[in-house]
């Protein structure tokens, strides 16, 4: 691998990053739409939200497996200490939410006594936890809060990417894209 390639994420990491980013934003929008509906329609749209959420969980596990088996480029050396710490902290919280939101959703759904229909292809069974409507409700409330935190952090993450791309010019968004200039 030449020097320039070592400063970018691997192609696999890029594919996982952008596929998951699109799905997360889409699934947030689906949840917002479902929230405003009622009855059977609400159930149907939340059904899609749950299936996409489980797909995000599977992709995230694949992404982490990829990350552990492929080199990750170091952060640009001109980052201030606080920027490096903030960037890494947000990335770690992202992974926690990418796993915690769908797992929490699955758990809450299971306490509600319901399996998940995966796009009519197969059924993901409820976890063997028994029924507990109160707990189900509490976990879903935490799920909504986690979802809101996710959205704010995505905003911060995008602002950071734009700053490094256009102000610091140290690679920024091109580190996660197969084209563009990533200076050394
Ligand atoms: C990474 C994946 C996921 C993300 C980013 C996500 C995000 C969200 C967000 C932002 C909301 C709040 C919507 C609103 O009320 O305005 C929400 C609600 C909800 N999510 Fe998810 N979710 C994910 C996965 C899942 C999964 C896997 C399930 C179920 C198995 C699930 C079930 C629900 C339910 C039932 C609600 C409504 C909660 C309520 O108001 O009672 N979500 N989700
Ligand atoms: C919407 C959901 C998104 C999620 C969940 C997400 C998540 C992540 C995570 C976890 C990393 C760290 C990669 C690692 O080292 O393992 C990362 C890196 C990165 N993301 Fe995102 N991202 C999202 C959207 C975006 C968007 C919209 C942009 C561009 C505007 C972007 C630009 C970047 C860049 C440039 C990096 C590389 C950071 C570096 O220089 O090391 N991301 N993202």
pLDDT single digits (tens) 129-159: 999 999 999 999 999 999 999 999 999 999 9
Does residue 63 have its Cβ closer than 6 Å to ligand 1? Answer: no
pLDDT band at 6 (very low <50, low <70, confident <90, very high): confident
Q: Is the pLDDT of residue 99 over 90?
A: yes
Q: What is the mean pLDDT of residues 59-71?
A: 97
Closest by CA position to 7, among listed 173, 175, 180 = 175
Q: What is the predicted pLDDT for the residue at 4?
A: 65
Q: Residue 24: CB within 6 Å of ligand 2?
A: yes
Q: What is the mean pLDDT of residues 56-72?
A: 97
Q: 164: Cβ below 6 Å to ligand 1?
A: no
Pocket test for ligand 1, best of 34, 53, 94, 135 (most atoms within 8 A of CB): 53
How many Cβ atoms sit within 10 Å of the Cβ of residue 107?
Answer: 19
Pocket test for ligand 1, best of 52, 57, 63, 101 (most atoms within 8 A of CB): 101
Residue 74: the pLDDT is 93
Separation of CA 97 and ligand 2 centre (Å)? 14
For ligand 1, whether the C-beta of 51 sits within 6 Å is: no
Task: Please state, in angstroms and rounded to a whole number, the distance separating the CA atoms of residues 47 and 31.
Answer: 10
Which residue's CA lies nearest to atom 11 of ligand 2? 91
Does the structure show a pLDDT above 60 at 1? no
Q: What pTM was estimated for this model as a whole?
A: 0.95
CA distances from 143 to 28, 52, 101, 150, 179 (A): 12, 15, 6, 10, 36
For residues 179 and 183, what is the distance between their CA atoms, to the nearest angstrom? 12
**Would you state the structure tokens that stand for residue 183, as one six-digit string?**
């200076």
What's the CA-to-centroid distance between 17 and ligand 2, angstroms? 6
What is the dihedral angle through the alpha carbons of 63, 115, 132, 142, rounded to the nearest 10 degrees?
30
When pLDDT is cut at 50, 70 and 90, the band that residue 2 belongs to is: low
Structure tokens at 29: 């929008």
Residue 3 has pLDDT above 90, yes or no: no
User: 37-50: b or e for each residue (b if 16 or more CB lie within 10 Å)?
Assistant: eeeeeeeebbbbbb
Q: Kindly report the protein residue whose alpha carbon is nearest to atom 8 of ligand 2.
A: 91
Pick from 124, 132, 115, 13: which is nearest to 62 by CA? 13
Closest CA to 7 of 87, 76, 64, 69: 76
């Amino acid at each position: 691998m030449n020097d320039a390639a070592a400063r970018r994420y691997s192609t696999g990491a890029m594919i996982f990053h952008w596929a998951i980013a699109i799905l997360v934003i889409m699934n947030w929008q689906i949840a917002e739409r479902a929230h405003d509906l009622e009855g059977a329609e609400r159930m149907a749209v939340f059904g899609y939200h749950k299936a996409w959420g489980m797909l995000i969980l599977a992709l995230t596990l694949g992404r982490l497996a990829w990350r552990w088996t492929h080199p990750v480029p170091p952060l640009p050396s001109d980052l201030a200490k606080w920027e490096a710490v903030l960037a890494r902290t947000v990335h770690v919280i992202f992974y926690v939410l990418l796993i915690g939101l769908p797992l929490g959703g699955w758990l809450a759904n299971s306490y509600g006594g319901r399996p998940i229909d995966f796009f009519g292809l197969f059924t993901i069974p409820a976890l063997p936890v028994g029924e507990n409507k109160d707990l189900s409700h509490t976990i879903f409330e935490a799920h909504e809060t986690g979802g809101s935190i996710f959205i704010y952090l995505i905003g911060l993450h995008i602002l950071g990417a734009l700053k490094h791309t256009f102000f610091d010019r140290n690679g920024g968004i091109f580190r996660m894209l197969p084209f563009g200039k990533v200076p050394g």
